């Protein structure tokens, strides 16, 4: 028997708190350890995208965090380029 049978409504919640949390925590992370931020973006984004056929709430949260970190990284790079 397959495991695709749902026993109840899917428990989905908003993803904006995860993205906002990544934005807040990504600022000091981008300033203090930019390579770690890049590694986290690639790892979380890659894992979340490989779960595409069997996406769970956890993989969606990983993508939301990766998106938040990517936005902070992009803003950090733009600010760095503008001052350099």
Predicted confidence at residue 71, as pLDDT, reads: 94
Distances in Å between the Cα of 62 and the Cα atoms of 5, 8, 15, 45, 80 are 24, 24, 10, 7, 27
pLDDT for 9: 60
pTM of the prediction? 0.79
pLDDT tens-digit readout, 2-47:
555 556 566 678 889 999 999 999 999 988 998 898 899 999 999 8
């Amino acid at each position: 028997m397959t495991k695709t049978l749902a026993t109840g409504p899917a428990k989905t919640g908003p993803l904006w708190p995860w993205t906002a949390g990544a934005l807040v925590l990504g600022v000091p992370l981008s300033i203090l350890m930019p390579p770690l931020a890049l590694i986290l973006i690639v790892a979380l984004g890659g894992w979340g995208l490989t779960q595409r056929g069997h996406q769970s709430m956890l993989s969606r949260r990983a993508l939301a965090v990766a998106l938040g970190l990517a936005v902070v990284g992009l803003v950090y790079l733009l600010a760095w380029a503008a001052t350099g």
